[in-house]
Structure 1
Amino acid sequence: MPCPSLPRRALTAFVLAAASAAAQAQTAAPAPAPAASAPVAAGQEVQITGGRVADTDQRRQSTAAKIVIGREEIEKFGDATVGEVLRRLPGVSTPGAPGRGGPPRMRGLGGGYTQLLIDGQRVPPGFSLESLTPEQVERIEVLRAPTAETGARAIAGTINIITREGLRRRLNDLRMSLAVEDGELTPGLFWTHNDSRGPLTYNLSAGLFDNRRHSSSETVDESQDLATGATVLHQQTRQDSQERRQGLNLGGRLQWRLSENGDQLMLMPNLFTSKSTTARRFSLAQSVPPPPALPLYDLGTQNNENSFTNLRLGTQWRQRLTPATRLELDGGLGQWRASGQTERSEFRAGQALALRQAQDDSHSRERSANLALKLSSLLGGDEAQPGSEHNLVGGIEAESVRRVDERVSLQDGADLLTDFGSNLQASSLRLAAWAQDEWSLTPQWALHAGLRWEGITTRGDAGDGRRPRNESSVWTPLVHLLWKPDPKVRDQVRLSLTRSYRAPAVSQLIARPVINNRDPVNTLNKPGNPDSAGNPTLRPELARGIDLAFERYLEGGGLISANLFYREIKDLMRSVTELETVSWSPQSQRYVARPQNIGKASTTGIELEAKYRLDQLVAAAPRIELRHNLSLYRSRVQGIPGPDNRLDSQAPASANLGADYRLRGAPFTLGANVNWTPGYRTQQASDRATWASIKTIWDAFVLWTVNPETGLRLLANNLAPRDYASSTEFVTATTRDSSRTLNPSYANWQLRLELKL
């Protein structure tokens, strides 16, 4: 476990370094233009400098707190996935072992607290941002507080990924890559093309990948008698997996200019499809009690086949009604399908016949449709002069989602879920209306006030013919205030007062269970390996929040910022594991995990960020660009005894330290970054706790610019791999059960050829 004083020492070091950089930057002469560092091709200097200033200006001029990452920043490190780009941003983390992380999370909060958008539309369930390549992204916007326009389903914040826009200049980029991890090769081919034909400007992108990787883990399960302290169960499970995932991603943005007034029509089709197979071998060794005491297996195999296809068409129409009024209509249709087949066989050593066989066959499909109407009017000021205008904006929205699940679970040929039927469904309907006033009151003050109403109707499926219906609505007033003490100085202060919410996923409303195959049915499973099921009566969470931020913008595009936040949550949703009498295990009770509304919680934190050049800190130093951020969090769930009664998956801190440098007189650019998350314990309930180990990820790259059209990049991710451990502890009336899992991680090397055709 990390030293408790480490976050305080890191905070002190961060503040001292940031203060020194700020003082040096304010007293030093203006930084020279980037062209002074090294010669570049004609036109290249203007493009890079302009892109960087534009990103910083967007952040500075936005009244609501926003981080903008543009093409220059995305291309600089040369990440293989969007997830790697997001991981280095302040306050953004990914769960799980290095290289095996899931969707990005803001402020350390678990799944569902961060609103993930692509071109302003919510990411469909099952779609992984790891499948979206950086070449397909124009910019990334991170909003720490919700706005009336982007929506209030963002207790932690919003990450909006804007795909590549059609440009007036022609772009035809090709990237070919070959990665190796623990001896497994992963090839990839990615293409992006921009062009225009008369009034049509378009962008096309394609990605083809074939990922192979090896995974292994070791789990130790123990039970201790509380009365005597004796160990009554000790099991050790080892498993080894070979995974292969193949996929195709096709995207486009077709934009027609309808008039010279900015009227336009845009179509955004996207297709993503993938297929994966996993072959897993596992073994079980039990020393207490002796193996003959239970009909346990010694070894086994499990084969999984999964497929996922997501098809979506987005459209946007913009029409200027008057010189000061604009109408915007956005809509989208989407559908995804997922299927999975699992076959598991368990054997006794020396026996050819299987001791137990289990099959699971699942098919899910979800259809969605959304429509949004937005009307904006310029009441004063000039759009051509950002920071002087007064806009009134309003809109209405409608979104419908329907999900159908089919599942058959067999054990030794017998159907385990006959009481639930094979076809269950759930749906949700969301209606919203909003208005916001964006007003630059004076050169020193700007106000962004909004009011949003959302009504949600969900219909679950209890599996017994009942379709529970839940209706809820929420009014969310939102106020963002920007103050510039001296408009001539690059310092500013932000204040945000917000309400937000977190709605249950449609899949959480379906009550049919998913059986954990590690423990056969008709036996008591371990609480660390429960079955899982939905809750058709689940209610949304509601949160009130405040954000306070200070920002200082440095010469040359650098910045230093500190952001404080607080969120108060009610109707907290959490997975609760309880012992139940269930229909699929008539001979024995089973532990089942279900999402439930358990009460109130609160979270607070500070996020520090600094980005500057070393020569702004030390005169005559190399022009090394430095980026570092540090985030510290605390949270408390009422009704659960402390310590460590924090929100799920919220680490107490996270940090990044990165640098990159273009060598003078040589065609090489170097860069490195270290990402750190300390280990932490979470008290889930009075009888259950979880623990996750420290995670440190070292990344580096070298780029050889052969010529303006050709580059060769070598990337190394997770350079210093270390095992990642996690554990759960569950206290029953008579025993203390624990389960600890150790996952090795591996370095990933990638060689990439980058061509501008």
Structure 2
Amino acid sequence: MSANPAAEESPPPKTPVKAKAEAKAGAEPEPEKIQKVEIKGSTAAYDPRRDDTASKIVVSNEEIVRYGDTSVSDVLKRLPGITVGGGGRGGNDIRMRGLGSGYTQILLNGERAPTGFSIDTLAPDSIERIEIVRAASAEFSTQSIAGTINIVLKKAVKSAQRELKVGAGKSADASNPFANLQLSDKLGALSYSLTANAWRYRYDRQTPTEDTRTAPDGRVVELRQSRQHDRGSPQGVALNARLNWTLKDGDTVTWQTYGNTQQADYLGIEAIATPVGTPPRSTDRTMRDDSRNTFGRSDVNWVAKLAGGGKLDVKLGTHWMRSRGLWEEQDYHGATLWRDAAIRSSTRERAVTTQGKYSTPLVPDHALSMGWDAGTSWREDTRVERDAALPGALPDNSDEGYEASIRRLALYVQDDWNVTPRWSMYVGVRWEGIDTTSEGSTFDQVRTKTSVWSPLAQTLYKIPDSRDQLRLALTRTYKAPAANSLIPRRFTATNNSQNDPDRRGNPDLQPELATGIDASFEHYWAENALLSAAVSMRRISGYMRQGLFLDPNGRWVSAPVNDGSAVTRSVELEAKFPLSAVMKDAPGIDLRASVSRNWSRVEAVPGPDNRLGQQTPLSATLGVDYKSRDSKLTTGASFAFKTGGPVRIDVNQTGYQSVRRDLDVYAVWKFTPQYQLRMAVSNVLGQDYFYDNAYRDASGVRRRTGTYAGYPQGRVTLEMRF
């Protein structure tokens, strides 16, 4: 198991050889020349994918920026074992083992991303690496039933760097100009890095939907067809700054700040035709939205070297978020305006966090560490609605607000033990407690306290006289309810129905608990060549799903509920190798492929298709990269595929997941060491996104379907170093 890669500059874990060499050096100093050769050789031989006790995939910055993506979601969709949900129009759901909706943990520099933070506000150029961790460890939060994706921002400064990238993307319904600046240098004991990026995204597109209601005998008794035209122009800027000081005693102090600000203007016009049945109350609607969002995060990290080879790593941080919005809506029934509303909303969140870890080589061949992770956050939310006084209408003028605070504390201890040079073990235990308090103008104070113990064990065995190795992990993880899932505040729908219900939280919601097992086999058969096979299973209790019910006022309401147990299983296969591993004098071609097959079953929901969290059953990736011998041309392609199909959500509700085929291509031409041109095309196949939601009961079937048109998008980026 590795140390926290987000908090340290050097490779976090130690190979068995390195651990023993350092223990020996601590007991009796060796000549300086021999010591330098040992450390250099050990560091060069270290491979986190191969040598860490925990199963981990590390994606370098070079791989991250290869396609010139402007969104982290686009980067992740090409990685093995990861799928990205949604229709490509925001709200992308990042999934491991096909599971999203909170099952996959997203970390930023080793810490859970704050509520409301979107990883797509990060510029891929600002990321140093992405770590994909299949099995949980005590050092990170164990809210990771499916696994963890840790996004580490740039921090290591090896040499002076000045780089400017300017580019633009264009598709049939959108355009996306962007710019990115990176600066870094060393000034004696001080080093710094700065990344700034700006972007704008303009879109103009249609979003058609269709609602049908069918009687038990199959007759269509209601048909509504919506034509919606959406137009908007979100834009934003982001800044990531880092300062590193190396003190005389070898201690280091690091200050890092990340911030972004965004604004978005939106105009939507909807017209609903009703060829069959009764028209809804709102047949025509005009919607305008003007929103502003600012997010910032700052922390100071001190790493102190202690006597006897120990180390203390302490971090103190804060983050803040502020968003404001104005939503204006005019609803018509035919030519009659019956609602003219303006809704102003404001959200403010502040938080203070602290992390710490003490590690010591107290026993030979052991890396013992213990630490804490704590924080407090405060959130204020206000909503003011003002309706115009129209003939025959009852204005809904309301002032709503609520406040919430979340206090969390986690304590852990872990040990990495090199049993033999070929066998390592990791054991750890983590306790996490969360205390949430909320109160508002429309509900009484609600307080929820939960805590979870997570014992963990992992092992790595390198088979003698071969390049093969085996891994095994036993974990206990959980999924905590999101804060807004606990607050009983209601959000109403204009045309309330089973497919468009009101929504509210459930203060009685409890965490899901999962016990899991992971096993894998890895075969390293040449330099940079890997074949691997991994299997896993999770048994979950307290399964959370969205319930749907009819309240006493005759309105449909959706709220999260705990409902029994579930089980999920996965098989993952991966291969990556240079063509030179199978062909002598081969060109500079690298190949990679992966396949993930997932199964799950929710006990309380009748089958078939009763998949956990609307799990993706099958996903696969295939990629090829080529670099010319003179390194002037680099090109490649990536194909990502995921299946879909029907999903049984509960006894009455079903959904449909769209099949997705993403083909992306890129090419980079290096004119000089200072200038290069990067060109890419994403969604080459013009893949559309289709959804289908249905509610069935004794009165028949109510269904909503829709299609988001997809178009290829081309991007051109000029990259300059100076």
Common fold, TM-score beyond 0.5?
Answer: yes
Per mean C-alpha deviation after superposition, the further-off stretch among 476-485 and 623-632 is 623-632
Matched AA of 2:619 = S
Structure 2 gap segments, 5+ residues each: 1-39
Of 379, 403, 409, 1:403 maps to 379
Distance in 1 between residues matched to 2:83 and 2:45, nearest whole Å:
22
2:400 maps to what in 1?
422
1:285 maps to what in 2?
273
Matched AA of 2:219 = A
1:610 maps to what in 2?
575
1:252 maps to what in 2?
241
Per mean C-alpha deviation after superposition, the further-off stretch among 66-75 and 592-601 is 66-75
Alignment map for 1:449-598 (pairs within 5 Å): 449-461=427-439, 464-486=442-464, 489-517=466-494, 519=495, 525-582=496-553, 589-598=554-563
Is the CA contact (8 Å cut-off) linking 1:463 and 1:511 kept in structure 2?
A: no
- Return closer, same or farther for 1:401/1:599 CA change in 2, 3 Å cut-off: farther
- Return closer, same or farther for 1:753/1:392 CA change in 2, 3 Å cut-off: same
Is the CA contact (8 Å cut-off) linking 2:68 and 2:679 kept in structure 1?
A: no
- Return closer, same or farther for 1:309/1:103 CA change in 2, 3 Å cut-off: farther
Is the CA contact (8 Å cut-off) linking 1:243 and 1:278 kept in structure 2?
A: yes
Distance in 2 between residues matched to 1:411 and 1:607, nearest whole Å:
54
1:707 maps to what in 2?
672
Q: CA deviation at 1:86?
A: 1.4
Of Structure 1 and Structure 2, the greater strand share is in 2
TM-score when normalising by structure 2: 0.90
Distance in 2 between residues matched to 1:719 and 1:741, nearest whole Å:
22
- Return closer, same or farther for 1:270/1:717 CA change in 2, 3 Å cut-off: same
Distance in 1 between residues matched to 2:88 and 2:180, nearest whole Å:
24
Q: CA deviation at 1:507?
A: 1.8
Secondary structure at 2:240 match in 1: strand
Distance in 2 between residues matched to 1:210 and 1:71, nearest whole Å:
23
Q: CA deviation at 1:417?
A: 7.8
Distance in 2 between residues matched to 1:101 and 1:422, nearest whole Å:
25
Is the CA contact (8 Å cut-off) linking 2:400 and 2:441 kept in structure 1?
A: no
Is the CA contact (8 Å cut-off) linking 2:351 and 2:378 kept in structure 1?
A: yes
Alignment map for 1:134-533 (pairs within 5 Å): 134-182=124-172, 184-226=174-216, 228-261=217-250, 263-289=251-277, 293-294=278-279, 296-347=281-332, 351=335, 354-379=337-362, 389-410=365-386, 412=388, 416=396, 418=398, 422-461=400-439, 464-486=442-464, 489-517=466-494, 519=495, 525-533=496-504
Structure 1 gap segments, 5+ residues each: 1-49, 382-388, 520-524, 583-588
Per mean C-alpha deviation after superposition, the further-off stretch among 134-143 and 97-106 is 97-106
2:685 maps to what in 1?
720
Matched AA of 2:372 = I
2:18 maps to what in 1?
none
Alignment map for 1:674-689 (pairs within 5 Å): 674-689=639-654
Distance in 2 between residues matched to 1:735 and 1:459, nearest whole Å:
41
Of 51, 55, 71, 1:65 maps to 55
Matched AA of 1:373 = G
- Return closer, same or farther for 1:108/1:411 CA change in 2, 3 Å cut-off: farther
Of 100, 107, 110, 2:100 maps to 110
Is the CA contact (8 Å cut-off) linking 1:55 and 1:68 kept in structure 2?
A: no
Per mean C-alpha deviation after superposition, the further-off stretch among 616-625 and 68-77 is 616-625
- Return closer, same or farther for 1:435/1:655 CA change in 2, 3 Å cut-off: same
Distance in 2 between residues matched to 1:742 and 1:54, nearest whole Å:
51
Q: Provide, for residues 81-137 of structure 1, a one-character-per-residue CA deviation record: whole Å limited to 9, x for no partner.
A: 222221111111111124646142211112211111111121122222112112101
Matched AA of 1:139 = R
Is the CA contact (8 Å cut-off) linking 1:723 and 1:744 kept in structure 2?
A: yes
Matched AA of 1:337 = R
Q: CA deviation at 1:615?
A: 3.2
Superposition CA RMSD, Å: 2.0
Of 78, 83, 95, 1:93 maps to 83
Per mean C-alpha deviation after superposition, the further-off stretch among 54-63 and 675-684 is 54-63
Per mean C-alpha deviation after superposition, the further-off stretch among 637-646 and 157-166 is 157-166
Q: Provide, for residues 417-459 of structure 1, a one-character-per-residue CA deviation record: whole Å limited to 9, x for no partner.
A: 85xx511122221111110001111012100100111122222
Distance in 2 between residues matched to 1:442 and 1:713, nearest whole Å:
47
Q: Provide, for residues 199-252 of structure 1, a one-character-per-residue CA deviation record: whole Å limited to 9, x for no partner.
A: 1111111011111123322111011111x3321110011111112111010111
Per mean C-alpha deviation after superposition, the further-off stretch among 53-62 and 664-673 is 53-62
Per mean C-alpha deviation after superposition, the further-off stretch among 693-702 and 659-668 is 659-668
Is the CA contact (8 Å cut-off) linking 2:212 and 2:220 kept in structure 1?
A: yes
Secondary structure at 1:574 match in 2: strand
Q: CA deviation at 1:392?
A: 0.2
Is the CA contact (8 Å cut-off) linking 1:468 and 1:537 kept in structure 2?
A: no
Is the CA contact (8 Å cut-off) linking 1:56 and 1:68 kept in structure 2?
A: no
Distance in 1 between residues matched to 2:549 and 2:507, nearest whole Å:
17
Q: CA deviation at 1:340?
A: 2.3
Distance in 1 between residues matched to 2:492 and 2:353, nearest whole Å:
34
- Return closer, same or farther for 1:113/1:295 CA change in 2, 3 Å cut-off: closer
Task: Count how many residue pairs are aligned between Structure 1 and Structure 2.
Answer: 677
Secondary structure at 2:580 match in 1: helix
Secondary structure at 2:378 match in 1: strand
Secondary structure at 2:616 match in 1: coil
Q: Provide, for residues 611-656 of structure 1, a one-character-per-residue CA deviation record: whole Å limited to 9, x for no partner.
A: 1122323445433111111111011111110001111231101111
1:132 paired with 2:117, answer no
- Return closer, same or farther for 1:499/1:280 CA change in 2, 3 Å cut-off: same
Secondary structure at 1:130 match in 2: helix
Is the CA contact (8 Å cut-off) linking 2:97 and 2:146 kept in structure 1?
A: yes
Is the CA contact (8 Å cut-off) linking 1:318 and 1:327 kept in structure 2?
A: yes
- Return closer, same or farther for 1:310/1:509 CA change in 2, 3 Å cut-off: same
Per mean C-alpha deviation after superposition, the further-off stretch among 550-559 and 600-609 is 550-559
1:752 paired with 2:717, answer yes
- Return closer, same or farther for 1:298/1:452 CA change in 2, 3 Å cut-off: closer
Secondary structure at 2:669 match in 1: strand
Per mean C-alpha deviation after superposition, the further-off stretch among 95-104 and 433-442 is 95-104
Secondary structure at 2:556 match in 1: strand
Is the CA contact (8 Å cut-off) linking 1:426 and 1:509 kept in structure 2?
A: no
Identity among equivalent positions (%) equals: 34
Secondary structure at 1:648 match in 2: helix
Distance in 2 between residues matched to 1:650 and 1:574, nearest whole Å:
13
- Return closer, same or farther for 1:323/1:173 CA change in 2, 3 Å cut-off: farther
1:694 paired with 2:659, answer yes
Is the CA contact (8 Å cut-off) linking 1:166 and 1:196 kept in structure 2?
A: no
Q: Provide, for residues 272-323 of structure 1, a one-character-per-residue CA deviation record: whole Å limited to 9, x for no partner.
A: 110011111221110112xxx4464543321111221111111211111214
Is the CA contact (8 Å cut-off) linking 1:459 and 1:536 kept in structure 2?
A: no
- Return closer, same or farther for 1:462/1:155 CA change in 2, 3 Å cut-off: farther
Q: Provide, for residues 122-173 of structure 1, a one-character-per-residue CA deviation record: whole Å limited to 9, x for no partner.
A: 1122222112112101111111111000121111111111111141310111
Secondary structure at 2:337 match in 1: coil
